[in-house]
Structure 1
Amino acid sequence: MRNHRGADAERRIDADDVDYESVSVPVLVVGAGAAGARVAIALAEAGVEPLVIGKRGHGDAHTTWAAGGINAALGSLDPEDDWTIHAADTLNEGHHINDPDAVELTTEHMPDRVRELDEWGMPFDRTEDGKINQRYFGAQSFRRTCFVGDRTGEAMLEALVEKAQSLSIPYRENVMVTRLLSDGERVHGAVAYDMGSGEFVCFSADHVVLAAGGYSALYKRHSSRDAENNGDGPALALQAGASLLDAEFVQFHPTGMVGDRYGEDWDGRLVTEAVRGEGGRLFNTDGERFMERYSPDQMELDARDVVARAIAREVREGRGTENGGVYLDISHRDDEYVRERLPRMYERFAELGVDITEEPIEVAPTAHYSMGGVDIDFRTGETGVDGLYAVGETVAGVHGANRLGGNSLAETVAIGKLVGEHVASQSIDEDPALPEEMRALADREFASMAALAASDGDVAPQTLLGELGNLLWDHAGILREEASLRTGLERLDEIRAATADLRVEGGRTGRDFEFAVDLSFSLTIAEAILRAALEREESRGAHYRTDFPEIATDWRRNVLVDDGDIGLELSTRGVPEPSDAVQAALDEGHELDYHHLE
């Protein structure tokens, strides 16, 4: 991609004593990770020049932290695998509240998307006969996860960025959107600020694609980067008039780093599922390989929610470490094999004084991925707000109640291509202008942001974000129940009230201002999580209610959240059935046999 200055980028408009830059583009892509990049590539290949904007430096997106692999039914090692079995595994893992259309579009297209990435230079690990290698990930019937050691996301984003650059796709880095310009029926652009200069920017856009990530980083312990995945994508869409779907489903990855030995900066950081996919074993402090009691057939490679709850139970019953964790051990594997297959993990822990070829890692569950998000039509990316589309972790539907490991990267490229092609097929104004009412909305937003930057109260935004993280961990974490969820909502109101006394230091270029903007998004999504979790009176996948511990047949429904006249409004709808081909794969009952690894 190349640096972008719009045709009227130099024009400054004075409104309510606030200056801002005005930029007009046909398609604005918000988010520069894999999903946004793949949308942009599809647009450019169809002859439409988008502008891609991201909150961080170019090529520095959260995609790079997806380490373990990307799923596609290539059959490199297990030729009996096919896309319908991949779809069946995804539906089973999602406890059958996934959008079947979304699942089937993703799984059917993924073999072609992986081959495409291979052609674009992604250096996949190979088998001895030159095929793209594949490994087991949890709850997958066959070895389906393609990988580049344990740096798959980084390698994938590098390939996508290089492809985008070859197409000269414009981009702007270090730009944060604070509001979409929408009347609830149609989107017309976005309000943002340049995080480096502090300058406000008003984007006029005929179409806007949200690819801004999810919201798992709202939790105290999480595997995301700091100030990433804090809900801005879903919150922007909700405010613009779109609906959220299944906000209660937050995946807790079984193996996040924990322990004084690693230090506070590493708390919650992901230990890739590839460690278990390559044979890693979990032990409690009694030296017992405890997954034998919970899942004797699939062991450590059962679904993420199953393994995470098993670890939580071991800790709760006194068989965990002093730091609230258990041990993950791959030292029984050949040393060279571990260094070859898990180079990043080996290097990371070596720098922390742990040789994973000789000793175990201390791990505990960590908030990792949000299955919930914007409700879209997966064939088009449409949100129900004209001109507004969404893709990637910002949306819900593919993963249902629990995500199959390796499917997050898959969704970004499979659906990203389809969304880009659909947007390119629409009638597009190459130089859209803002309607007067949207210009007035932008003026009000800029004045509000200027006032926020000048806030001189007593409460630091980061303090409130920390309190919010504790609140969600305590009241909407791995285990939930009605009284605790209601307490969480009460505490949320207290945090929201405290935002009236914010202190923002450093102006619009400081981290305080970024955190203050994050707060508005994060509070909205936290409320959606709590209310949706309270609404769903059952346990399904990553959502576990101790007061409703079983799956309820009549709760095979999705929970929708809308921004109503007096606050968030919730409703439910039924889930469609899969195609005959995928139903046949479900009926065949394929299942991972862990003991192939023994």
Structure 2
Amino acid sequence: MTNIERHTYDVVVIGAGGAGLRAAIEARLAGKKTAIISKSLFGKAHTVMAEGGAAAAMGNVNAKDNWQVHFRDTMRGGKFLNNFRMAELHAKEAPDRIWELETYGALFDRTKDGKISQRNFGGHEYPRLAHVGDRTGLELIRTLQQKIVSLQQEDYAAHGDYEARIRVFQECTITELFIENGAVAGAFGYYRESGEFVLFETSAIVLATGGVGKSYKVTSNSWEYTGDGHALALRSGATLINMEFLQFHPTGMVWPPSVKGILVTESVRGDGGVLRNTDGKRFMFDYVPDVFRKQYAETEEEADRWYSDPDNNRRPPELLPRDEVARAINSEVKAGRGTQAGGVLLDIASRLKPEQITKRLPSMYHQFKELADVDITKQPMEVGPTCHYVMGGVEVDADTGAAAVSGLFAAGEVSGGMHGSNRLGGNSLSDLLVFGKRAGEHAAAHATETRRRKPSAAAVDAAVETALAPLQRGEGGENPYALHHELQDIMGTLVGIIRREGELRDSLVRLAELKERVKKVGATGGRRYNPGWHLALDLRNMLVVSECTAKAALERTESRGGHTREDFPKMDPNWRQVNLVCSLEGEDVRLEHKPLPVMRPELQGLFERSELAKYMTDEEL
């Protein structure tokens, strides 16, 4: 019989990024015994790669900013496919979450009069991003970690045990959730170093596992982002929404090949950086959509005045929402005006003094100097689109973060709805804080109200069998690295930034073939730190999530936000009413249409009727 380490907790949080840590803190503050499960080392969560800042309408740099303007910008950025209630809660509560983070010890950059500094970012009408240089995500994780350490110290003082009521299980991967009689009963996984299995009995689970980017070869995402939470939710009976909407961040490194896809923060453009093609033209002026004409500058002179006089001038087109900028760069490269490596030029050297660049953008200076031998105080950067963020995720209740399965909650990138069809830069970090807190709070309440169920012995045995299957096949199975390469090729080539019906249909045929081969994947060696085995287990998660993305992309016959169909290049107001919802029937992905909630009249009043008409039907208006 296989040995399994067993634990019992009130709340289990899967994921140790910003959303997971904030959820765990809230559950612990509610008095619940809480486990934090980190796939990587504690403190190495992908949140540290969110560099530019956290969006919150604090009004510290421009007093005109408020939650209504932030809500309006978020809805515009998401092309009105957002869950309006999530966007409303986010805009209202983000300032409190930032101020709260400061009480935990976060050291934000300051204005001259001592307030938390805020910088410009794409799609935001006013300077709104609270930041720590270009290392904001790192500061957020550091601060939340320290809060957890302080809570453990409280436990030690009260119980003589640092981990009495909140404990971190690092380098631990969850492979299965247990559902008994329609409700959460536990989670099963293994320690990556030893390969030993571990079982958590609990009545409340918060998924905070991040995104899906490792299904693509060119991505800013780190190795953990294999769609684990999305797949766990599907297999447990929950649903996913908006999976066709993937954000290709406009600026990732393109040279040298070894670093292709690594994020180049939007802070570069927020602090004045401009995009040029190889002809030297500042091309973004040619790509401002009609719906944004009133808000964005038409000439370089007008755009440059905005940085010194933001009240009276329209924003530079480099600060359009990310989907617009990514498509523009893609178009310039396709037209032959890109660099030899397939990118365009991002120039900050001619805009700021060297000492300003090294102070405001220290990570970017170091990144290009060390990885590309480029001094960004003297030379432009080569950049191009990189798979960055998935707007789609677990369908949750806006107020509580609860999924369709009793006891299952989700927050952060793994949840869907908040960002609609495209996320504004900076909204991710404040999203983690706002909905991480809410998910932790309501998971704790659920744990109080619900009797804990035990996972059945049969379910545990099945989880063990599934986990061990690749090792039992050994060399006789399919190579996991070869299968991963094929998956990345399918998604990057056929379900990428520009999509076409024929290619999407081809992708589904190839994904179906790959699904059968993944069932036969093998891994050599034992269970002690074995990356081939880990990848073999991750592959089934990446595959089912990729199928959801491809099916939804084929179904949505319009272009909106992060979903661009070359054969349907415009937005269709009728599609604005529709969420595409994915569920699992056996091993097959099922897709259905579901209407969006209609925005309340007082929130509709924040927009001009002519603007709403571009996105909404007469019936909605």
Question: Same fold per TM (> 0.5)?
Answer: yes
* Offset from partner CA, 1:164-202 (integer Å, 9 cap, x none): 111112111011000101147211101101111110111
The offset of 1:27, in angstroms, is 1.1
What residue in structure 1 maps to residue 253 of structure 2? 257
Residue 576 of structure 1 pairs with residue 576 of structure 2: no
SS in 2 for 1:190: strand
The offset of 1:430, in angstroms, is 9.9
SS in 2 for 1:374: strand
Quick one: which of 135, 140, 146 aligns to 2:124?
140
Q: Which amino acid aligns with 2:325?
A: V
SS in 2 for 1:455: helix
Residue 186 of structure 1 pairs with residue 183 of structure 2: yes
Q: Hey, what's the Cα distance between the residues in 2 that align with 1:514 and 1:493?
A: 22
Q: Which amino acid aligns with 1:279?
A: G
Residue 367 of structure 1 pairs with residue 387 of structure 2: yes
Q: Which amino acid aligns with 2:285?
A: E
Q: Which amino acid aligns with 1:245?
A: I
* Offset from partner CA, 1:546-597 (integer Å, 9 cap, x none): 111110111011110011246111111222233444333323999xxxxxxx
Q: Quick check: 1:72–1:114 contact (8 Å CA) kept in 2?
A: yes
Residue 58 of structure 1 pairs with residue 58 of structure 2: no
Q: Quick check: 1:24–1:433 contact (8 Å CA) kept in 2?
A: no
Q: Which amino acid aligns with 2:97?
A: R
* Offset from partner CA, 1:99-131 (integer Å, 9 cap, x none): 011111111001101101111111111011101
Q: Quick check: 1:243–1:560 contact (8 Å CA) kept in 2?
A: yes
What residue in structure 1 maps to residue 495 of structure 2? 476
The offset of 1:460, in angstroms, is 2.0
Q: Hey, what's the Cα distance between the residues in 2 that align with 1:140 and 1:581?
A: 21
Q: Hey, what's the Cα distance between the residues in 2 that align with 1:328 and 1:306?
A: 16
What residue in structure 1 maps to residue 301 of structure 2? none
Q: Hey, what's the Cα distance between the residues in 1 that align with 2:364 and 2:471?
A: 40
Q: Which amino acid aligns with 1:121?
A: G
The offset of 1:317, in angstroms, is 0.8
Q: Which amino acid aligns with 2:536?
A: A
Q: Quick check: 1:206–1:429 contact (8 Å CA) kept in 2?
A: no
Q: Quick check: 1:88–1:583 contact (8 Å CA) kept in 2?
A: no
SS in 1 for 2:108: coil
What residue in structure 2 maps to residue 347 of structure 1? 366
Q: Quick check: 2:241–2:579 contact (8 Å CA) kept in 1?
A: yes
Q: Which amino acid aligns with 1:488?
A: S
SS in 2 for 1:586: coil
What residue in structure 1 maps to residue 550 of structure 2? 530
Change (3 A) 1:413 1:419: same
* Offset from partner CA, 1:119-154 (integer Å, 9 cap, x none): 111111101110111111101111101110000000
Q: Hey, what's the Cα distance between the residues in 2 that align with 1:334 and 1:96?
A: 39
SS in 2 for 1:585: coil
SS in 1 for 2:203: strand
What residue in structure 1 maps to residue 333 of structure 2? 315
Residue 271 of structure 1 pairs with residue 302 of structure 2: no
Residue 450 of structure 1 pairs with residue 468 of structure 2: yes
What residue in structure 2 maps to residue 12 of structure 1? none
The offset of 1:447, in angstroms, is 1.8
Matches within 5 A, 1:175-574: 175-183=172-180, 185-225=182-222, 227-259=223-255, 262-264=256-258, 266-295=259-288, 297=297, 298-332=316-350, 333-351=352-370, 352-428=372-448, 432=452, 434-435=454-455, 438-456=456-474, 457=476, 459-508=478-527, 509-556=529-576, 557-565=578-586, 567-574=588-595
Change (3 A) 1:22 1:74: same
SS in 2 for 1:347: helix
The offset of 1:501, in angstroms, is 4.2
Q: Quick check: 2:186–2:200 contact (8 Å CA) kept in 1?
A: yes
Q: Which amino acid aligns with 2:397?
A: D
The offset of 1:340, in angstroms, is 0.8
Provide TM-score, normalisation by structure 1: 0.92
* Offset from partner CA, 1:301-337 (integer Å, 9 cap, x none): 1111111011111111111111111111101111111
User: Which moves more between the two structures, 129-138 or 19-28?
Assistant: 19-28
The offset of 1:98, in angstroms, is 0.5
Quick one: which of 73, 78, 83 aligns to 2:57?
73
Q: Hey, what's the Cα distance between the residues in 1 that align with 2:409 and 2:539?
A: 24
SS in 2 for 1:421: helix
Q: Hey, what's the Cα distance between the residues in 1 that align with 2:450 and 2:89?
A: 30
What residue in structure 2 maps to residue 14 of structure 1? none
Q: Hey, what's the Cα distance between the residues in 1 that align with 2:436 and 2:195?
A: 31
Backbone CA RMSD of aligned residues: 1.7
* Offset from partner CA, 1:69-126 (integer Å, 9 cap, x none): 1000011111011011101100000001100111111110011011011111111110
The offset of 1:458, in angstroms, is 5.2
Change (3 A) 1:110 1:498: same
Provide TM-score, normalisation by structure 2: 0.89
Q: Quick check: 1:251–1:402 contact (8 Å CA) kept in 2?
A: yes
Q: Hey, what's the Cα distance between the residues in 2 that align with 1:293 and 1:58?
A: 45
Q: Hey, what's the Cα distance between the residues in 2 that align with 1:212 and 1:331?
A: 37
Q: Quick check: 1:184–1:241 contact (8 Å CA) kept in 2?
A: no
Q: Which amino acid aligns with 1:92?
A: R
Change (3 A) 1:547 1:458: same
Q: Hey, what's the Cα distance between the residues in 2 that align with 1:427 and 1:309?
A: 45
User: Which moves more between the two structures, 411-420 or 505-514?
Assistant: 505-514
Q: Which amino acid aligns with 1:247?
A: M
Residue 46 of structure 1 pairs with residue 30 of structure 2: yes
Q: Which amino acid aligns with 2:407?
A: G
SS in 1 for 2:71: helix
Q: Which amino acid aligns with 1:197?
A: S
The offset of 1:431, in angstroms, is 9.3
Q: Hey, what's the Cα distance between the residues in 2 that align with 1:105 and 1:119?
A: 21
Residue 161 of structure 1 pairs with residue 180 of structure 2: no
What residue in structure 2 maps to residue 3 of structure 1? none
Q: Which amino acid aligns with 1:150?
A: D
Q: Hey, what's the Cα distance between the residues in 2 that align with 1:578 and 1:114?
A: 27
The total of aligned residue pairs comes to 568
Matches within 5 A, 1:4-23: 17-23=1-7
Q: Hey, what's the Cα distance between the residues in 1 that align with 2:129 and 2:361?
A: 14
The offset of 1:425, in angstroms, is 2.2
Change (3 A) 1:263 1:530: closer
SS in 2 for 1:140: coil
The offset of 1:424, in angstroms, is 2.1
